Amino acid sequence: MLDNYFPILVFVLVGVVFGCVPILLGCLVAPHRPNSEKLSPFECGFAPFEDARMKFDVRYYLIAILFILFDLEIAFLFPWAAIFKEIVNTEAVKMFGFVEMFVFIGILVVGYVYAWAKGALDWE
């Protein structure tokens, strides 16, 4: 019975070794020369001028949400592209697959045009 679990044990051990060995090598081999610049807070290459808890403009969040929304929607195109050859070669599915993807892309375009018309993509 334990022979069935041996491959799982080997898999876990190899995973732990691959995860821990680079960290240990980095601690042992890497040079340790801290100075005031390396220990200072880093913010885009400049010293921080304000508190890190400052409020962001709402437009930043709007752009981020729109990016995530459209990025997620585009991710749905990959499965369709993966079976595109099968869709084209099958007569019964050929027109259905084309119309369905046309409707999907049409909805995306309508959403994009709506966001553009409302000024959600403008950054002043």
The label of the residue with tokens 């807070």 reads 41
Separation CA 63–CA 71 (nearest Å): 12
Position of tokens 């375009």? 109
Q: Distances in Å between the alpha carbon of 79 and those of 66, 75, 101, 108?
A: 22, 8, 11, 17
Supply the pLDDT for residue 59: 78
2-117 in CATH: which number?
1.20.58
Please report the pLDDT score of residue 12 as a whole number.
96
pTM, rounded to two decimals: 0.49
pLDDT given for residue 10 in this prediction = 95
pLDDT on residue 31: 87
Regions of the chain with pLDDT less than 50: none
> Which amino acid is present at 86?
E
- Rounded CA separation 83/94 (Å): 11
Number of H helices, E strands in the chain: 6, 0
Residues 6 or more apart in contact with residue 108 via CB below 8 angstroms:
70, 73, 74
Report phi then psi at 106, rounded to 5.
Answer: -60, -40
